Amino acid sequence: MRIVRSLLIALALIFGVSAATPISASAAPGDDIKGAANKEADSAKKKGNEAKDDAKKEGEKAEKDVAKEAEKAKKEGAKSAEEAKAAAQARKEAAQAKAEARKAAQEERAEAALAARKERLHKQEDKQHASRMKEIEARRARLIAQQEKQLKNVAGAQAREEARHEKREAKIEGL
């Protein structure tokens, strides 16, 4: 009786019979009770095995789902890695383009500064040249004026000498 009672309690626990339900056992001889308990135990075992198989199938299905999710995440991770690599490459190219633009702008500024310096130096040289040429022309004019004055003095001295010579010739002839 004790074994039967234990089996009934176990079955009650397996099938969800509440503790408030009174357990009734017939006082029939042991074979009928044992046979019924065995049947109940076999059916519980079958249901347990079915539940175990269902759980196993659910576990396998969950494992497959997890594997699919992992594969999907791996592919997304690979895509993310490729996207990150592409983004890094794009940033690198943008930095190179920015550096090239900065270098080109710097070269343009240097060329403009050189052109401005050349123009300033040309103007300065032209101004100095004009000043020197004016000075040279002034010196030439002074020399020409001085030469003319000297030529005039020489011509005057020649004329005086000619007049004196004529006068002396006439005096010598008059003797």
pLDDT at 39: 79
pLDDT at 57: 84
pLDDT at 29: 54
pLDDT at 18: 54
Contact 29, 58 (CB under 8 A): no
- CA–CA dist 139, 146 (Å, integer): 10
pLDDT at 103: 95
pLDDT at 23: 53
- CA dist 145 to 3, 41, 61, 153, Å? 158, 151, 124, 12
- CA–CA dist 97, 18 (Å, integer): 78
Output the six-digit token pair for 17.
Answer: 């019979």
pLDDT at 32: 67
- Which structural domain range is residue 126 located in? 2-18+25-173
Output the six-digit token pair for 63.
Answer: 């494992």
Burial 4-29 (b: 16+ CB within 10 A, else e): beebbeebeebeeeeeeeeeeeeeee
Ranges of the chain whose pLDDT falls below 50: 19, 27
pLDDT at 72: 81
11: Cα within 13 Å, side-chain hemisphere: 19
Q: Number of folded domains in the chain?
A: 1
pLDDT at 116: 94
